[in-house]
Structure 1
Amino acid sequence: MNNDIEIVDLLRERIPSFECKPGCHDCCGPVTTSSAEMARLPVKTDAEHDAALAEWNCVHLGPNGCEVYEQRPLICRLFGTTPRMPCPEDRAPDKMIDTKTEQQIHHYIANTRQVLV
């Protein structure tokens, strides 16, 4: 198995989850992600990417919210789980992410090739 995929899976397991406000997509702007994470997402056309960027949205944001929620990138999962990236709707998990895991995620992002989702 690809080492990056194993790292991503391990980090995902350590990110606490919480219930988003239905219909909210305040944190769903354009983001970057690693190639390993991108490989799990559906391929979108250049026109779809351009249209999403023109609206300052993620290409995977649909009329009912995130269309790839279960496979969303680490950066998307981090929103709302740390005081440094708070949810604009004041939603949060019962226990915020631990500092060590957050640092590991930022280290992974900083040290892998990132592509625009």
Structure 2
Amino acid sequence: MNNDRETIARLRERIPTFECTPGCHDCCGPVTTSSTEMSRLPVKTDAEHEAALNEFNCVHLGPKGCKVYEQRPLICRVFGTTPRMPCPNGCRPQEMIDTETEREIHHFIANTRQVLV
């Protein structure tokens, strides 16, 4: 798991950032993430998970946006930074994610045990 933590930290540093449309939460649906990333997030009850899923939301989405923004999973961070996962509002970083970093993120996701956030 320590190697996964290092990989996650390295990949996070390489994902470009950008400003979202205020009040938009289009990318905040239910997602899966690695158990390593999940271990950094607050534990939610089954009822909280069920309520979020009923609304097709992430369990960590609050009235003012993501409540775990600094710890959000890789999949959340990469949204809007690649043409494969565009922001529906046209938001994007000045430079999109480089193809090698995107490939490494998808490889990490495909090769780690994924759990529903």
In 2, the alpha carbon distance for the partners of 1:77 and 1:48 equals: 23
- The alpha-carbon deviation at position 108 of structure 1 amounts to 0.1
2:85 is aligned to: 85
In 2, the alpha carbon distance for the partners of 1:41 and 1:89 equals: 27
The one-letter code of the counterpart of 1:32 is T
The one-letter code of the counterpart of 2:101 is T
In 1, the alpha carbon distance for the partners of 2:24 and 2:69 equals: 13
Q: Which runs of 4+ in 1 moved over 3 A?
A: none
- The alpha-carbon deviation at position 41 of structure 1 amounts to 0.4
In 2, the alpha carbon distance for the partners of 1:23 and 1:68 equals: 16
- The alpha-carbon deviation at position 40 of structure 1 amounts to 0.6
- The alpha-carbon deviation at position 110 of structure 1 amounts to 0.1
Which secondary structure state, in structure 2, belongs to the residue aligned with residue 96 of structure 1?
Answer: coil
Give me the TM-score of the superposition, normalised by structure 1. 0.98
- The alpha-carbon deviation at position 89 of structure 1 amounts to 0.8
- The alpha-carbon deviation at position 31 of structure 1 amounts to 0.2
1:2 is aligned to: 2
1:35 is aligned to: 35
Deviation string, structure 1 residues 28-61 (Cα, Å, up to 9, x no partner): 0000000110011000000000000000000000
Question: Equivalent pairs: percent with the same residue?
Answer: 79
1:110 is aligned to: 110
In 2, the alpha carbon distance for the partners of 1:27 and 1:69 equals: 12
State the number of aligned residues: 117
Structure 1, unpaired ranges of 5+: none
In 2, the alpha carbon distance for the partners of 1:88 and 1:72 equals: 20
Structure 2, unpaired ranges of 5+: none
- The alpha-carbon deviation at position 27 of structure 1 amounts to 0.8
Which secondary structure state, in structure 2, belongs to the residue aligned with residue 115 of structure 1?
Answer: strand
Give me the TM-score of the superposition, normalised by structure 2. 0.98
1:48 is aligned to: 48
